Chain A
Amino acid sequence: DAEITQSPRHKITETGRQVTLACHQTWNHNNMFWYRQDLGHGLRLIHYSYGVHDTNKGEVSDGYSVSRSNTEDLPLTLESAASSQTSVYFCASRGILNEQFFGPGTRLTVL
Chain B
Amino acid sequence: GNSVTQMEGPVTLSEEAFLTINCTYTATGYPSLFWYVQYPGEGLQLLLKATKADDKGSNKGFEATYRKETTSFHLEKGSVQVSDSAVYFCALIPPDNFNKFYFGSGTKLNVKP
Q: Interface of A with B (CB < 8 Å)?
A: 31, 33, 42-43, 45, 48, 50, 90, 92, 94, 97-105
Chain A contact surface mostly? strand
| Whole-angstrom CA separation of A94 from B98 in the bound complex | 9
**Of B43, B99, B104, B106, which is within 8 A of A48 by CB?**
B99
Asked if A98 and B98 sit within 8 Å, CB to CB, the answer is: yes
Asked if A42 and B46 sit within 8 Å, CB to CB, the answer is: no
Contact A42 B99, CB 8 Å, known A102-B45, A105-B42: no
Q: In angstroms, how far is the closest chain A Cβ from the Cβ of B70?
A: 23
**Of A43, A48, A99, A103, which is within 8 A of B103 by CB?**
A43
Q: Interface of B with A (CB < 8 Å)?
A: 32, 34, 36, 41-46, 49, 51, 89, 93, 98-101, 103-106
Across-interface contacts of A48 in B (CB, < 8 A): 99
Q: In angstroms, how far is the closest chain A Cβ from the Cβ of B51?
A: 8
| Whole-angstrom CA separation of A86 from B89 in the bound complex | 22
| Whole-angstrom CA separation of A65 from B21 in the bound complex | 36
Contact A103 B43, CB 8 Å, known A42-B103, A42-B106, A43-B89: yes
**Of A45, A50, A94, A102, which is within 8 A of B44 by CB?**
A102
**Of A33, A50, A98, A105, which is within 8 A of B43 by CB?**
A105
